[in-house]
Amino acid sequence: MLNDKVTIVTGAGSGIGRSVAMICAREGAKVLVSDINVTSGEETAAMVKAAGGDALFFPADVGKPADNKALVEEAIKQFGRLDVACNNAGIAGMRAHLTDYSLDEWAKVINVNLSSVFYGMQPQITAMLATGGGAIVNIASILGAVGFSTTTAYTAAKHGVVGLTQVAALEYSARGVRVNAVGPGFIHTPLISELEQNPTVEAMLVSAHPIGRLGKPEEVAELVAWLASDRASFVSGAYYPVDGGYLAR
């Protein structure tokens, strides 16, 4: 499905990003694994190789434009081109009502979760246009479509990711670059591990998903791999929830 497609996955040291790297490699992609955490990023690359896939690790802080540019340059240096990018890296941020939300925390979450997607797509799209096109999948959230109390910056950022995705699709689809967003529900990842430690909160989260459970990272990754492939050749500018029915309530 992704035979020899050169693929960047950010935030690939754990959770959804790790699963995206593993599944894209399983489908034949050459994966440049990236994460700010060198140890976990190298571990993902090693896991891909152990499973028979092709992967290299390159450290990057997606909140820095220069790191995003360097990441794309590394993909071209190592593999000769860039075909696919999954902008997945993100943080949860603090939990607080809007009037209590820290200004520093707001700036941090918006930078890592929203500005990073802009910083990433600029060099990614430029590289893809140079070789005839490609596919970008941005990881948003169900909170890119609805609100959730005490997640001021996270919700704002994920709504922004959906908007950025739509604009990029409008501007570059005709030139061969498809851009889509995926909106995971609550998924078993380190991002929500703190919430899961409280049985009452976990039960509340499970009950919010009509399917009756939280999601698995690989369930999100399977959709990402499809959107990145030529099987989704007429899909661009779309927002796909992977949420066990959360948004259908």
What are the catalytic residues?
A: 154
Answer left, alpha or beta for residue 155, where phi above 0 means left and psi between -120 and 50 means alpha.
alpha
For 194, the token pair is 């703190």
Strand intervals (E) in 60-176: 84-87, 134-139
Ramachandran area for residue 165 (φ above 0: left; ψ -120 to 50: alpha; else beta):
alpha
Question: How far apart (Å, rounded) are the C-alpha atoms in residues 90 and 1?
Answer: 27
Residue 79: count other Cβ atoms within 10 Å of its Cβ: 20
Helix (H, G, I), strand (E, B) or coil at 185: coil
